[in-house]
Structures are given as structure tokens and as C-alpha cells.
Structure 1
Amino acid sequence: MRARSAVLLTLVALGACARRPPALGPEPVGAPVSAGAEALGDEPRPEGPPRPVARSGLLGEASYDLPVEANSWVEAEVTYLATLRADVLRRWLERTDRYASFVRAVLREHGLPEDLVYLATIESGYDPLARSRSGAVGWWQFMPGTGRAEGLRIDSLVDERRDPVRSTRAAARHLGGLFDAFGDWALAVAAYNAGAGKIRREIERVGSRSFWALATYGTLSDETKRYVPRLFAVAILAKNRSRFNLPEPAPAPAFAVDSVLVDFPVPLRELARLGGVDADALAALNPHLLAGLTPEGLYWVWVPPGTGAQLQLAYRRSDLWKFGGYRLYRVRPGDDLDRLLLASGWDRERFRFFNPQADAPRPGQTIVLPAAAVPFLLASALPAVAVPPPAKVSTATPAPRSRRSLGDAAAGSPDTGRRAGREDARTRGPGRAATAVHVVLRGETLWSLAHRYGTTVEALRAANALEPGATLRPGMQLKVPTEASAARRSDGDLGVPSRRATTPAAESMREHVVEPGETLWNLARRYGTTVEALQRANNLDSTTVLRPGVRLRIPKNPGGR
């Protein structure tokens, strides 16, 4: 594992606190390890070879499935824990009792001694958020390399070392491998602390396969020398509580989880809302989801026992699932809040619900959006800037156009080339319906395109001579034979009203000169109109960013017509 144990029995007594990643729910009770409080110097230091002591006097009448030794080193640890660290030990055993039945079951499944349940007690006190100075994390204090080697996912969104279920199974695999390598549980436990390579070198140096010989005559650290005796001491204390004035396990529900399979990023709070379960309870079962959000792709989420079936059904029946769910999006330069709200179709309150850390989105920040919004944001050009007209605009003059609009008319405009690659010019003759050509994006289907353009799957098939069951490929060009298509951009318009409406009459307008920091959204609120009405009145599109000094026409009536 690593050269230093993450948790020593003095830490909780000091109330040590570690930096914790952001989460969307309360974190489990228990103080994680502070990097500055790993060793206080008052622990028993093994001196000389361990001396045998009376077995019955130390081990009591309890049975053990680890080779617990009755010697002076183990006795010193028992005395230290039961006296100087009794309060800490009580808290640790209280948490151990809650999770013991679950951990014992996993150990049995892997054919391991059940007394290894106390290994997590001395490692972390069963705090899933525990973090050592060296970077070991979770109940079992895995270092990143060891955790990944045992199949745990560790990245910026997920750290499964903090997952009680997955990390316990990983620890069982790791311990089983160490026993296979050394054939002795004392050596395997020492290797869990110091690393298998260190123990192999000590065996070669000392010429013995006895942990006690290595600890006496080798070069093991004091921490590793104490590690095995401490594990044995905690097992003795937990099994002889009345002798050491420790409380017996309190009646309480054993730790258990149910599970739900999700197939795209889902905020835990939204999953809790869908299933009618407590959001805090859901967050506490999933401390490994660092932002309270499931990752991309298929992922099992732990839910309160007995709620899995109802929550899975609610998830599959939800609009969230039917319409493709959510995706992660990295904010790009020019993606202001107005643009993100327009793409998502959310209001500010809904946006904050899913992105409480992103009140003012910054370039490079990762946020959650409806899946349908992401292709639009990625495919459309970055925002242009509205350019002030050269002369004062009266209420009778045409409204100022965005740089995008002016650039579209210029030969060789980059934006013109992009738009031409997305959508043919729309024409209408007598008796002819408007048409458009849509370039298929990844993840789009006939159903989603029909929904977007206000048509039907059958109409799209007929217009493009597609057979039933035909699969769309990214880059494919589709004809969209609907009236609605003439009013929408094929690269991802998410329902913005048509901008082909004529400019309102001058008498229904007022004029506003844009000041620094103003957006279409706050101007719409100020004047009691809508963003769409302002866009129609000024021939602006959804990607336009206002610049100070621009004169805007403001519709006097809320509809902007």
C-alpha cells in the first residue's frame, strides 16, 4: 500500500479536518485525517524482541481467524488504546459496528479472515473521506496507483476510493493477492502498509519469513512495526469490550445499499427528486461522486435499501431519460449565461439547481446541460459582437445588425462558410413549403430531429427516401420539409421563435443605448419584454453579444410585435 498509515488513534481526538472536494449533499460524519497530525510521538515504540505474555490474560475467551499473537508489543498497543485513546477508540468502534456486517460479508465472499474488518478501523476509522498526507484516501486508504490497479476509478469527477462498496471489494482483492504472495497474514498485513516490495526485501535481508523477526532485526519503519500489533490489539479490544469498559454494539440498522443504473450524467439531487428519496441520504451513500454528479456512460449509483426498483422505474419513465438526459459541457469563451440559458431552455433558477457552483460561468468550467443543448453550443459559431452604427439611429431607421448578420452578407465570410455547410438557403415559390438541409450531429435521431423541427419521422423519411430502421450518421445531410424549418437554424436551434418577422412599426418602439454589463436578458426584464422580442426587433441572433454604445429598439408591448 504505502509507507505510512493514514490514521493513527490520536487524530480524531484533535478534531483534525481535511480539505474535502465539493459535494451536493452533506458528507458522512467523522473527521478525516489532517496532513499535519499523523503522528504525535506518544505512541508505544516497539523495543527489543516481543516477549510472550499469557494468552488467556490478553486475548480473553474470544476466537480469532487472524493469527493474533499474545506478546509484549500487542499488549502495549492494547494498553495504549484502552487508556490514552479510549475516547477515540469508542468512536472508531461505533462506526466499525455500523459497517461490520457488510465488510465481513465481502471478506467471506473472497475467502478472507473476517477479522480483517478491523484493518479499516486502524486505517481510517471507517471515514470514507479520510485522506492521509501521502494522498491515501477512503476506508482502506488506497494510494491512486494501487486503487487503479485494483479497478477503482479515480479522476476529477469520481474517486472510488471513497466508495464504501467498491473500495471494500478492491481491498479484499488486494489483501487476497498479498496473502497469495507471502502465505502469512502478518506479512500480508505488513505489506498492505509498507508495500509488497519492502517486505520482500526485508525477507531477503533478514533471512526469515516471520513478521516479528523482520520487525526486530530488519529496517521496517516504526509505523509498520506498530501496524500489525495495532490490528491485533483492535481485534482483541472489539471482542472483549466489557473487560476494557467499552460499550457493546448498539442496535442499529446494518449498512446496506440498493442500486440504480444510469446511462448519462445525472445530478444526485435530480435522481433523488425523481425517485422521491432523501437527497442527503443519497449523497451520503455516494461520497465518491465528487461533484454530486454521475459520470458519462453507464454507472451504478447506490441508493437506500428497498428503493432501487422504484427509482429505476421512475428514472426510465422520466422526461429526463426520454429526451436524452444531461451532458457535461466545458464553457467556452463567449458562452455567457444568456447564451447557455437560451441553449438549454432553462431559466436561471433551473440552471442554478444543476450548476450551483456556476452562477457566472467561466471559460474552462464544466457544467451540466440538457443533452440536446450541447451539440448546438458545440456546432454553432462563437458569439459575434453587435457593432454600433456609424450614425445615430432614429426610431425610423433600421435597427443595428450584429457583426454576424453583416458578415453573412460579405463574400468569403468564415461564418457564411460555416452556415453554408449546415443549411441550404431557404426559398419559397408560389405554393411551395419552406425546406432546409440539416447536417446530422452525433447522437441525433429522426425522432429528435422531427421533435426539433415540428414535423414527423414519417415526413423526414419520405423527404430523404429513408427505409424504416435506417441509421443516421454524423455528417449526413437531411432535407427538412417543414414550415418550421425555415424559422430554425439546423445546427441546433432549441425552439427560439422565428426571426423572419418584420421589424415592428416605429411607433411601437423605444430606443436604448447599451451600457457596460448589460445583456438581452436583463434588458428584457427591465423593459417588461422578452429576449426573443428584442432579437426580433433588432435582427439579432442567439449568439450575439452586446457591446456598450449599441442602440437597441425596445418593443413597447411584451410580445414585441
Structure 2
Amino acid sequence: MTLPNRVVTHYLFPICIFLLSACSSLSPLHNADSRQSGVHNQEDTGAPTAEEMSYLEIEPEQQLAEELAALEKTGAWEPGKLDNTPQPVNEVTFDFPITINKQVQFYLDQFQGKQRRHFSRWLARSTQYQDDIETELQKAGLPLDLVYLAMIESGFNPSAYSYAHAAGLWQFIRGTGRNYGLRIDTWVDERREPKKSTQAAIKYLSFLHKEFGDWYLAVAAYNAGEGKIGRAIKKYKTRDFWQLASHRYLALETKRYVPKLIAAIIIAREPAKYGFTDIPYKKPVQYDTIELPPATDLAAVAVTAATSVEKLRKLNNELRKNQTPPGKKEYLLRIPEGSKELVAQNLNRLHPVITTAYKTHKVGKGDTITGVCRKYKINKTILLKANDLRTASLKRGQRLRIPYRTTKYVLLAKGETPESRFASAGKDGEMILHTLKRGETLSKIAKQYDVPVSVIMQWNDIKNVRKIRAGHHLALFLDNGVNSFTNSMALTNQLKKGSIVTLNDQKKWPGSNAEGNRIWYKVQNGDSLWTIAKKFQVSARQLRQWNNLANNLIHPGTKLVIKNG
């Protein structure tokens, strides 16, 4: 693809400030009759998540309508003409075609007037990404001035998200983003990763310029879709953007896109000339990278890097959760500059700490136990036990304790091991040895004890799950202090070392009584089949069999029979 060389344009613009409506950096540029893959204007059924909604910088519909109404009053859309009046001028080099007309002047005035605050913020952010974007544009042979397309798309905000479901610096919707190589799923949204989204935008812009042979048409198609622009060319038999814009076929939201970009380029190349002299420009973010296994918790990385999860999320803006994606591939994570060596030193000292915490739910009108359980993704037994409830009836205004598991990470002291830390817990700690049976997997064991697979692997220094065999012993550490991995069926009554009861010392277990070769036990609040089985040194399967239980669900007050021998 052959592109024009950078051209030198001489210009002098009168600085006229009209009091027109302001808009923010994004607008819901959704053209209802678009049929093709414009960045904005393709149907996208994915609703924004709560997290995405928090990043919205949307132009209110009322302000958008006011701006478009004011733009309409500028009159006919015609090609611009340079002012050749002999006056002192500055020489500025552009490599995107610069035209001055009423519509371009409208946005020059907007950016210096009511949109000045927004434009100042865009300029301040621009220096974080400009060098990297221009480097990629230069590699592709595209005009460097296209860097400011990201300015009018997102205000250089990689987290920007619009109601049209467009995201990132370049405001891709899902379909177009995926078409140009971006990964977008529940774990990762590469539209929000500056480098990868820039490469995708460059591919798309290269395609559009090759398709239309004109940069005005190419950037208009970036907004409206190549199908819309192609039909406009066919309908009016012209490839002149300004002639197409003089007709009503193209939406005003699309027509404004070209003059808005031109005005942004003009001011951004010489901001001081237009009064932007006090901009707090931001420096490009510097970082190191490390390769991490799948499903690595960012909280663990934060501890090793002496940083926070929030800072890691900012450096890895494409991640949608606080962990690296699951799967088979390692993930290249960005960490604060200078912390790579620190992470390497601290990895072997890292130790997970999991506890049970509680949030409060206030019962509202129409709330039911089933509905509350569904909302918080817990089962009915857990909720009843956590609140010492014997029935499922709720009262409006009642406050429920909602248990959930929290995870944090600590660094072991020099020379300290997980075993020594648990040993130092003394009476509050317990280690359970689990013997692997044929056909058992770590996933099955993790579910049984409600412990993450990754933690079991760390406890037992397992590097490869394929190498574990039947007969191997797994150490599972449970204690009642801060180092507790709680069982989901016993959130309120955890095991303590020394509380294991045999048939010979059943009197130590409150609620139990002997009858011949049997022991009867009355289920208490917080009990689970698993905890009872462990305390009486039998299996949960045996308890189900002896008591004709169809599953592991038990309720306070139920009497269970414990057989001897």
C-alpha cells in the first residue's frame, strides 16, 4: 500500500470561541442502519459488566443532541480552503490531509471552549501512549497523525467503555475486535490492552485505506462501517467525503467524525498556540514482565512484588478478574518496573491464608432463602447454619450473615516453612493425611475438602499433577486460626486439633450417647457430614449408608447412628 509522504501545510486560523455544548470523550456512536463491521456500529449483544460500567465516559444524549444541532447550523458541508492572506504563519508538518472548513472550525472552537477541560485531559493522557502508537504506525507505513484517532475515540483512556459496547483506546466492539485478533472472553478483554488494541486498529485502518484509497473515507468507515460508506459511494457516485457529507445518507454522528479528528490533530500538534500551556502531561508507564502459570491469583503476585492488586490491574488492564486466565498457557504479566527480581526472590516464601468472612444481607420484600442462596451462590444448609436458623422463613428487615471465603497471602520468614508455621500453631493446627485412591484426582479431592487445587499443590510441592499416583499421601493443613481452609459445609464450626473422638472416648463429644455397639449423635449447628465423619474416624460414605442418607445434607436436630467397628 502506497501512502502519501508527510506534507507541509501553512495555515493561520482565527481563534473564535463560541459557547457551544460540551461533550465527553466518548459518545454512543450507533448508526441504526449500518450493516457492516464499523468499530462502533455493529450489533453487540454483550451487556457491560458492573466493572465496565464504572469506566464509562459517555457523552450524555442531551449534550450530544445539542452539539449536533449546533454543528448542523454551520451550513453546507464543503471542502475547506486555506487562508492565503499574507500574515505571519507557523509551519506545521502533517501526514494526514488537513482541510479547514466550517465544520473543522466548529470543533477547533469546541475544543478551545466548552470542551477545553476534556481536551486538556486528553492531551495529558496522550503522552502515556503516543510514542508507542506512533512507533506502530510508522512500522505499518500509516500517517503518524492517526495517533489522535485514539484521542477522539477514547480520550486516550484504555478503560473507556460506551453504551454501544465499544471498549478501549480504539473503541472496538467485540465482533470487530475478534476479527482483528483480539482475545475477548470472560477472563481477558484485549480491547483494553493498549499495545494489542493499537495493532488491531492499525490492521483495520490499513484495510479501510486500501478499500477506499482515501483517509477521510477510511476514518469515516472506521466509525460507520465499510458497508455504509461503500453504499454511500455507490448511491452518490463520488469518492469525495465532503460531497458525501453534503447529503443526508450518512448520519451526522459519522459526518462529524472527520472534522473532529482534523481539529484534534491541528491543536494536538501545536497545543500552546491554542492556549493549552498548563497541561500536566503524564509519563509513559514503565514495567517489567514475568511469566506466570494459569489461574495465578494477582493478590499473590502483589505480595511478592510489594505492590497492590489495584496497581497490577492498571498495568494489566485487559484482565477482567483478579487472576491470570486458566488454561494450559503461561501468562505474561506486567509488574512494576524494578520488581522482577523481588518477585523471583519472594515466590518460594509465599504462603496462602484463607479464612471465612461474612457480609450482611438485609431481607427485603419478596426475599426467600432460595433467592438469597442463588444471589450469593451458597447452598441452603450453609446459610441456615451460618445464621443459626431452624426454618427457611424470613422476616422483612432481618439481617443475614452471608459467609464467604477470603484469601490473602503472606511471606514466610527467612528459614520458615509452611510445615513449621503450622507446627508453631500448636493446638490450633491440624494436618490431615489423605491417601490417594485409584481414579482420584486433585480436583475431586479439592472439592471434597473445599480447598483450591493450587493450594494442595503448593502444600505438597506438586509441580506436575500427572505425576501423582494412587497410594501417595497428600498433606492437607486445617486449623482454626488465620491459616484456615474452611469446609463449605462447616463454616461456623471448624475442626480443632485434639477434638477427634473415637468410640472409646465418645463422652468427649457433646450430643452423643452410646447404645450397645452404636453411638447416636444429634447434629449441632455448624456440623457437616464430613466433620462428623472425621471426628468419629469413619467415612462420610459409611454415615450415609448407616443412616440411609441420599446425599450429604444434614440438619440440626437430626440423630445420626454411628456403628462400632
Taking structure 1 as the reference length, what is the TM-score of the superposition?
Answer: 0.60
Aligned counterpart, 2:159:
129
- Find the aligned partners of 2:259 and 2:281 in 1 and give their Cα distance: 29
- Find the aligned partners of 2:67 and 2:506 in 1 and give their Cα distance: 85
Aligned counterpart, 2:558:
550
Give the Å deviation of 1:552.
Answer: 7.7
User: Contact conserved, 2:23 with 2:59, CA < 8 A, in 1?
Assistant: no
Change (3 A) 1:237 1:48: same
Deviations 1:37-81 (A, max 9, x none): 671323423531325343578994221111111223212221222
Aligned counterpart, 2:334:
302
Residue 520 of structure 1, aligned match among 527, 537, 540? 527
Aligned counterpart, 2:471:
480
Aligned counterpart, 1:527:
none
Change (3 A) 1:336 1:121: same
Residue 235 of structure 1, aligned match among 262, 265, 269? 265
Give the Å deviation of 1:480.
Answer: 2.1
Give the aligned residue type for 1:285: L
Q: How does 1:419-430 map to 2 (within 5 A)?
A: none
Change (3 A) 1:155 1:480: same
Corresponding residue SS for 1:140:
coil
Change (3 A) 1:310 1:62: farther
Aligned counterpart, 1:438:
438
- Find the aligned partners of 1:163 and 1:266 in 2 and give their Cα distance: 19
Change (3 A) 1:59 1:520: farther
Aligned counterpart, 1:399:
none
Aligned counterpart, 2:534:
535
- Find the aligned partners of 1:535 and 1:443 in 2 and give their Cα distance: 20
- Find the aligned partners of 2:89 and 2:553 in 1 and give their Cα distance: 75
Change (3 A) 1:287 1:192: same
User: Contact conserved, 2:533 with 2:540, CA < 8 A, in 1?
Assistant: no
- The answer as to 2:209 corresponding to 1:179 is yes
Give the Å deviation of 1:127.
Answer: 2.0
Residue 406 of structure 2, aligned match among 346, 349, 352? 352
Residue 104 of structure 1, aligned match among 134, 154, 157? 134
Give the Å deviation of 1:504.
Answer: 4.2
Q: How does 1:472-511 map to 2 (within 5 A)?
A: 480=471, 502-511=502-511
Aligned counterpart, 1:359:
none
- The answer as to 2:316 corresponding to 1:291 is no
Give the Å deviation of 1:196.
Answer: 0.9
- Find the aligned partners of 2:228 and 2:403 in 1 and give their Cα distance: 55
Residue 62 of structure 1, aligned match among 89, 92, 99? 92
User: Contact conserved, 1:338 with 1:520, CA < 8 A, in 2?
Assistant: no
Give the Å deviation of 1:119.
Answer: 0.7
Corresponding residue SS for 1:439:
coil
- Find the aligned partners of 2:536 and 2:293 in 1 and give their Cα distance: 42
Q: How does 1:37-52 map to 2 (within 5 A)?
A: 39-43=64-68, 44-45=71-72, 47-50=75-78, 52=80
Deviations 1:396-453 (A, max 9, x none): xxxxxxxxxxxxxxxxxxxxxxxxxxxxxxxxxxxxxx99852253899xxx9xx99x
- Find the aligned partners of 1:157 and 1:78 in 2 and give their Cα distance: 40
Aligned counterpart, 1:157:
187
The size of the alignment, in residue pairs, is 406
Change (3 A) 1:514 1:221: farther
Corresponding residue SS for 1:260:
strand
Give the Å deviation of 1:269.
Answer: 2.1
Deviations 1:142-179 (A, max 9, x none): 11100111111222232222222322222122112212
Bigger strand fraction: 2
Corresponding residue SS for 2:145:
helix
Stretches of structure 1 lacking an aligned partner (at least 5 in a row): 1-7, 322-329, 340-347, 356-433, 458-469, 486-492, 524-530, 554-561
Stretch deviating more after TM superposition (266-275 or 56-65): 56-65
- Find the aligned partners of 1:102 and 1:289 in 2 and give their Cα distance: 21
Corresponding residue SS for 1:352:
strand
User: Contact conserved, 1:163 with 1:288, CA < 8 A, in 2?
Assistant: yes
Corresponding residue SS for 1:42:
helix
- Find the aligned partners of 1:507 and 1:242 in 2 and give their Cα distance: 86
- Find the aligned partners of 2:301 and 2:63 in 1 and give their Cα distance: 38
Residue 111 of structure 2, aligned match among 81, 102, 108? 81
Give the Å deviation of 1:113.
Answer: 1.5
Give the aligned residue type for 1:139: L
Aligned counterpart, 2:544:
none
Give the Å deviation of 1:238.
Answer: 1.3
Deviations 1:227-277 (A, max 9, x none): 011001011111222222112654542234432222211222221112223
Deviations 1:105-134 (A, max 9, x none): 222232222211111111111222322222
Corresponding residue SS for 1:300:
strand
- Find the aligned partners of 1:182 and 1:541 in 2 and give their Cα distance: 71
- The answer as to 2:39 corresponding to 1:33 is no
Aligned counterpart, 2:276:
246
Change (3 A) 1:540 1:83: same
Change (3 A) 1:155 1:34: farther
Change (3 A) 1:149 1:309: farther
Corresponding residue SS for 1:137:
coil
User: Contact conserved, 2:182 with 2:191, CA < 8 A, in 1?
Assistant: yes
Corresponding residue SS for 1:293:
coil
Aligned counterpart, 2:37:
none
Corresponding residue SS for 2:510:
strand
- Find the aligned partners of 2:312 and 2:192 in 1 and give their Cα distance: 14
User: Contact conserved, 1:511 with 1:552, CA < 8 A, in 2?
Assistant: no
Corresponding residue SS for 2:93:
coil
Give the Å deviation of 1:534.
Answer: 7.5
Aligned counterpart, 2:40:
none
- Find the aligned partners of 1:263 and 1:12 in 2 and give their Cα distance: 37
Residue 188 of structure 1, aligned match among 218, 221, 236? 218
- Find the aligned partners of 1:219 and 1:509 in 2 and give their Cα distance: 82
Corresponding residue SS for 2:255:
helix
User: Contact conserved, 2:104 with 2:260, CA < 8 A, in 1?
Assistant: yes
Aligned counterpart, 1:11:
24
Corresponding residue SS for 1:69:
coil
Aligned counterpart, 1:203:
233
- Find the aligned partners of 1:305 and 1:456 in 2 and give their Cα distance: 29
Aligned counterpart, 2:356:
none
Taking structure 2 as the reference length, what is the TM-score of the superposition?
Answer: 0.60
Stretch deviating more after TM superposition (296-305 or 499-508): 499-508
Aligned counterpart, 1:225:
255
Q: How does 1:356-435 map to 2 (within 5 A)?
A: none
Give the aligned residue type for 2:558: V
- Find the aligned partners of 2:539 and 2:161 in 1 and give their Cα distance: 52
Change (3 A) 1:502 1:60: same
Deviations 1:185-211 (A, max 9, x none): 111111100111111111222222221
- Find the aligned partners of 1:443 and 1:9 in 2 and give their Cα distance: 55
